Amino acid sequence: MVFLILVGWYTEGVPRFPFLTDFMSNPVTPASRFLNRELGLLAFNGRVLSLVEDDETPLLEQLRYLCIVSSNLDEFFEIRVAGLKQQIREGITKTGPDGLPPLRVYRLVCNVAHELVAHQYHLLNERVLPRLAEEGICFHRRNHWTEAQHAWARNYYLREIKPVLTPIGLDTAHPFPRILNKSLNFAVELSGVDAFGRPCTHAVVQAPRSLPRFIQLPEEICGCPYGFIFLSSILHANVGDLFHGLTVEGCYQFRLTRNSELLLEDEEVSDLRLALQGELSHRQYGDEVRLEVPENCSETMAQFLLDTFELEETDLYRVDGPVNLVRLMRVADLVDRPDLKFPSFQPQLPRELDQTVPLIETLKKRDLLLHHPFQPFMPVIQFVQQAARDPAVLAIKQTVYRTGTDSELIEALIEAAHQGKEVTVVVELLARFDEEANINWAEKLEAAGAHVVYGVFGYKTHAKMCLIIRREQGELRRYVHLGTGNYHARTTRTYTDFGLFTAHPEITADVSAIFMQITGLGKQERLRHLWQAPFTLHSGTLQAIAREIQFARKGDKAHIIAKMNALTEPLLIEALYEASQAGVHIDLIIRGVCLLRPGVKGLSEHIRVRSLIGRFLEHHRVMYFRHGGSHNVFIASADWMDRNFFRRIEVCIPILDPRIKRRILSEGLRSYLRDNHAAWIMNGEGQYARTHPRRGSSCFRVHDFLLQHLSQKSSSS
């Protein structure tokens, strides 16, 4: 049995990270009322890796999870580790809520990250690749190429690779080239003298990003249905061709990760889009953070690269395989083996949604809830498309945080602008790693005649809102869509989220007021129902917790259930501790980082924390407060984090329709508390233990349940 902990995992009760024994065994003190965020992020990725070790995970999905961990770690180093290194350089010793100074956190993170990466590549080489080979999906290593494969690779190199390569010899006239963030490069050790009489020792070959990182072989060449070779293998086999007359002593792939956080100072920005466009070009060349090399990289070359990039030994990651596993994500798409993937499913429309009737006509009668990915995102797109073509619609207002490079919804907004509608789009230009796509959409929307604003500088617009204003019988009426997730059609197929359509006059008036606040100037307006960050969301949540405390102290039943991606805000954690001590029962379903310590006697013994890691990425934010039997339910765009409460524009929506309230409570909370297969239970030391059905009880998988439940309750007609 395998148990994941905050900073790694235990195997058969033996800690794999003995250097943390003193840290984890300390009693809870005021400084240690909180766990560490960075270690929590690494623990989350350890739980994702557990799906690779689960025989019930289809084989190609195991490969996907390995790639997802690599992608997550890239961002972790680009943002979190980069931030720690910057604090250390600047001599900052101020501790976070966990009481650990940056240097201590950095050392812990390095140790855990090295263990995590080593385990990841062990799973790749000892589990996933051999099993794929048994299924006729082979990655041919250079040392095992047949003569025909050698010939094919040589021909491919001459035809597709060599013409776009530029080998760079390193000497006083050729300094080390600038290395792009996360790009694939090759460091070459040479001996000999060139045509000009110069001694040659080192060279660098940069692989253009236009080249595929793996290439599929013809079946007659590879001898199996799906055969692939890595670009690095082809280049290694032919690197001598680039340095005629010299001896190649060694050739090693390497990959450099840089600080990718964008820094824009308020007083220096007059045009946010222009400033951001300038800053994006520098992201590829931020401070160096991590160096990845193959296991066989010589000590001399590894030290040369570390010295060149001014990195320490702890920043060096030796890996047994490609230095970038993210690119292997495409393999699952290229291989037509449905039996090695999760079973396909068709999201079903809610029974009450009649496709022959405009969506707005349905909303005149009732509110509508969509639960993605079990129910489709298409009605959200149709909401805007129908409004764009509806002569009675006067205006559409929309927030855009992440929407992708190809968006039917944005195209519908452009169409609405062309149709003469008043279209206002709040585009968040600082959505991390989506900045370029959002800039492009902003330019297209402006060209179509839409009003494009970039929110409020210093406060990311993270709320998910769409407002349609329509003239009906001489009066204006509003309709809105509010969601927990992004307006991104692709991610709605894999992220769990709720989307609410309503024409409730007070809810829609609140949404209208928030749009006015974002696009215009003026004092905060008192909202009727919605909680809004950075104004009332934090205080509203604290007040809801305080009311549960009051009920508990009076001897009434008191219960809080909350589901989110992360819990890090100290004041809220302290409020939950107080609620626990008052006797409030608290169930927290937190996918990723949780700084709260549950189940600690005298502190949090009535708090239970679970994390669900499964087929879909848990993304919806839901809150339940028993409130003396009123059963208050909310959905929100915000996690319980400092940034969401105080540095973002977020909305939290009370569910007023009893029918929808029951659905959210059942589908979004209680069913998750029943899961005994994909859930991990957290203890007060930050350790996670995977749940298993009790002897004699059946296995309950929440994702399977929701797929079946919502299919039965929906109509495909």
Q: 311 and 371, same structural domain?
A: no
pLDDT value of position 1? 30
Q: 656 and 592, same structural domain?
A: yes
The 10 Å Cβ neighbour count of residue 131 is 14
Which of 64-78, 127-141, 160-174, 423-437 has the weakest average pLDDT?
A: 423-437
Question: Cβ contacts of residue 348 below 8 Å, gap of 6+?
Answer: 374, 375, 376, 710, 711, 714, 715, 716
Burial of 14 (0-12, 13-18, 19+ CB in 10 A): exposed
pLDDT higher for 644 or 16? 644
Count how many domains the chain has. 4
Q: How many CA atoms lie within 13 A of 641 on its CB side?
A: 20
Q: 521 and 556, same structural domain?
A: no
Q: How far apart are CA 652 and CA 546, in angstroms?
A: 18
Q: Please give the average per-residue pLDDT across 438-465, as a whole number.
A: 90
**Active site amino acids:** 462
Backbone angles phi, psi at 53, to 5 degrees: -85, -5
| Total-model pTM | 0.90
CB 168 within 8 A of CB 177: yes
pLDDT value of position 272? 57
- Is it the case that residue 578 has pLDDT exceeding 90? yes
- Is it the case that residue 87 has pLDDT exceeding 80? yes
**What's the CA dihedral at 505, 508, 513, 517 to 10 degrees?**
180
CATH of the domain at 7: 1.20.58.310
Specify if 273 maps to a domain: no
Q: 537 and 431, same structural domain?
A: no
Q: 422 and 294, same structural domain?
A: no
Percent of the chain scoring above 70 in pLDDT = 91
Specify if 271 maps to a domain: no
Residue 158, amino acid: L
Domain boundary among 64, 91, 122: 122
Q: Which segments of 623-665 does DSSP mark as H helices, in order?
A: 642-646, 658-664
Q: What's the pLDDT band for 322 if we cut at 50, 70, 90? A: very high
pLDDT higher for 171 or 690? 690
Q: Please give the average per-residue pLDDT across 130-147, as a whole number.
A: 94
Residue 141 marked as a ligand binder: no
Q: 53 and 200, same structural domain?
A: no
Mean pLDDT of the chain: 90
Backbone angles phi, psi at 588, to 5 degrees: -115, 130
Q: Six-digit token pair at 285?
A: 């060349």
CB 69 within 8 A of CB 49: yes
CB 182 within 8 A of CB 255: yes
Give per-residue pLDDT as tens, 703-713: 999 999 887 65
Specify if 39 maps to a domain: yes
Q: 424 and 307, same structural domain?
A: no
- In this structure, are strands 316-319 and 288-294 parallel, antiparallel, or unpaired? parallel
354-360 CB contacts, 8 Å cutoff, 24+ apart = 358/386, 358/390, 359/383, 359/386, 359/501, 360/386, 360/387, 360/390, 360/468, 360/470, 360/479, 360/503
**Full residue range of the structural domain in which residue 183 is found:** 137-265+290-340
pLDDT higher for 30 or 591? 591
- Is it the case that residue 529 has pLDDT exceeding 50? yes
Residue 558, amino acid: A
Specify if 419 maps to a domain: yes
Q: Tell me the β-bridge partners of 561.
A: 587, 624
CB 119 within 8 A of CB 55: no
pLDDT value of position 273? 57
CATH of the domain at 627: 3.30.870.10
Q: How far apart are CA 91 and CA 87, in angstroms?
A: 6
Give per-residue pLDDT as tens, 268-292: 444 555 655 555 566 566 899 999 9
Domain boundary among 528, 547, 574: 528
The 10 Å Cβ neighbour count of residue 669 is 19
- Is it the case that residue 67 has pLDDT exceeding 70? yes
pLDDT higher for 644 or 94? 644
- Is it the case that residue 348 has pLDDT exceeding 50? yes
Q: What is the chain's length?
A: 717
Q: 117 and 212, same structural domain?
A: no
- Is it the case that residue 115 has pLDDT exceeding 60? yes
Residue 674, amino acid: R
Specify if 191 maps to a domain: yes
Specify if 130 maps to a domain: no
Specify if 284 maps to a domain: no
Residue 495 marked as a ligand binder: yes
Q: Which segments of 175-298 does DSSP mark as H helices, in order?
A: 219-222, 231-238, 272-283
pLDDT higher for 26 or 406? 406
- Is it the case that residue 147 has pLDDT exceeding 90? yes
Q: 452 and 496, same structural domain?
A: yes
CB 460 within 8 A of CB 430: yes
Q: 630 and 489, same structural domain?
A: no
Q: 227 and 302, same structural domain?
A: yes
Question: Cβ contacts of residue 360 below 8 Å, gap of 6+?
Answer: 383, 386, 387, 390, 468, 470, 479, 503
pLDDT value of position 280? 54
Specify if 132 maps to a domain: no
- Taking Cα atoms as reference points, which of 214, 199, 228, 61 lies closest to residue 138? 228
- Taking Cα atoms as reference points, which of 556, 534, 567 lies closest to residue 647? 534
Q: Six-digit token pair at 459?
A: 């406060």
Domain boundary among 472, 502, 528: 528
- In this structure, are strands 422-427 and 621-625 parallel, antiparallel, or unpaired? unpaired
pLDDT value of position 8? 38
Q: 524 and 547, same structural domain?
A: no
